[in-house]
Each structure stands twice: as structure tokens, then as C-alpha cells.
Amino acid sequence: MNDKAALIQTISAIPYSDLRPPSVPLTCEINAASLVCLLGQQFSVINVYMQMLAGTNEPYTGSVNYADSLLNNSDKNDCPAIAYLYHNSALLSVLNGIDNVKVPALYHQLASTTQIDKEVYALVSEFEYGADHLILPAFMSTLQRRHLLIVRAIMLKPKILFIESPFSNLDRDQVRVFGQYLSGLVKNKNITVITSNANLDFVRSYADQVIYITTATVHVFNHWETFSDFING
């Protein structure tokens, strides 16, 4: 993993939850502009840790510390520095795709309507797969809805984007192109992307860090080779 400034540091942090058996402590550093994958045997366990890292749930014990750049975000019109997409996050059903993406930026008054329109179309066009973004969410594919949820989130220019199960219900080719898109958010926009339950081919190709979580242990790997040796050992 490259030597970049740490955005999140955890010290023996155990998430608050009703999981049984009890969760185990996590100690790690998550760097700026990195791609981090949380993997493990139970979806619910992994996402509890994700939510603790994002600050949506307080740690039961230990600490989760954030860089000053995340805490002092006044230059973003009070927009959060951390964006979180749950596995069941949804677009607004009564708005088309483009209008869905505009909503947070308009709410926070980030720019004029004309400027917001230009940015929306620019961001949407960065990932081309032949979709019509003027239709309602009910008529969209899973890939399109997931893409637009991400664009809606990055309109607020977060420094960290959490995504639960980004590849669920996507076919093999969609996983490949969507993985390239997520990697591009890190490389081209310097966004730290943290995912749960990622596809292993994606992890092998792009992950800077893997956090492997079970109900009994937590392991942090900074190289694919050491993680691969662990799961194949």
C-alpha cells in the first residue's frame, strides 16, 4: 500500500451491535485515495464494521479517529466528507435519473442550476454503458441505479465513499466494467472507496487494503498476495 495520509484510524474498535457472538476489535489505518475492501463470512457482521468506520454507529469500545480534513469540511457548504450507500439505498421513484442526481447539489446550493446541470452530465458520462438516464428508476437496470446512486453521492464531493455490496445482482461483464469505474474514482478523483462483500477479481485487481472479518477474528492485509495466502492456506 502506498504512503498516503491516513483518513481513518481505529484502535481496538468494536462496533456496537446485538451480534452474537460478540464482535472482535479492529485496529487499522485507512489512507487517502485508496481502495479498501471489507470481506468475510457474514454480510451483517461486515456491514456493522463498515458503519462504525463511517461514523454512523459509535464504537462500543476502542476508538475511531478521523483526519482533520474530514472533520473540517466547511468549504463544502456543510456537505458531509463521508458518503455511505447502503445495500438497499434507492433513488427517488418519482424523478428520472438525471433529476435524482441533482437533488443533493440543489439542496446544498453548491452552484447555479446551470452549473449543476453541466456537472451532472459530465459525471454521468464518465461511465458509458448505453443507458437512458431520463427514465424513472423502476425501468432501470441494477447497474444503472447503482451508478446513479454513486454519482448522486459524489456530487457533494466526499473524501470517502462507502458502498455496501457494490456487485450484488450484476453479471460478470457488469462486474468488470463497474469495477473499473470504482477504481477510477480513486485514481482520477482521489476519493477513498471502501466496499463490503466485493468480488474477488475486483479485490485482486484494485484493492490497496483488505480487512477480513469473521465473528471470531479480524485480519488486515495490505497486499493481495498475503490475503491470498491466508484464504488459500
**How does pLDDT run across 176-205, given as a tens digit for each residue?**
999 999 999 999 999 999 999 989 999 999
Residue 70 CB partners (closer than 8 Å, separation 6+): 7, 8, 81, 82, 159, 160
Pick the most confident of 17-31, 60-74, 79-93: 79-93
Spell 73-112 as b/e; 16+ CB within 10 A means b: beeeeebbbbbbbeeeeebeeeebbbbbbbebbeeeebee
Question: Percent of the chain scored above 70 by pLDDT?
Answer: 94
Instruction: Decide if pLDDT at 2 tops 50.
Output: no
DSSP 135: S
CA distances from 82 to 12, 22, 132 (A): 22, 27, 28
Residue 22 has what pLDDT? 60
Instruction: Decide if pLDDT at 1 tops 60.
Output: no
Q: What's the pLDDT tens digit per position in 118-176?
A: 999 999 999 999 999 999 999 999 999 999 999 999 999 999 999 999 999 999 999 99
> Rounded CA gap, 86 and 168, in Å?
12
Mean pLDDT in the chain?
A: 92
Q: What are the φ/ψ torsions at residue 6 (nearest 5 degrees)?
A: -75, 130
Instruction: Decide if pLDDT at 74 tops 50.
Output: no
What 3-state DSSP class applies to 211? strand
Q: What's the pLDDT tens digit per position in 202-221?
A: 999 999 999 999 888 999 99
> Rounded CA gap, 48 and 51, in Å?
5
Instruction: Decide if pLDDT at 104 tops 50.
Output: yes
Least confident window among 43-47, 50-54, 117-121: 43-47
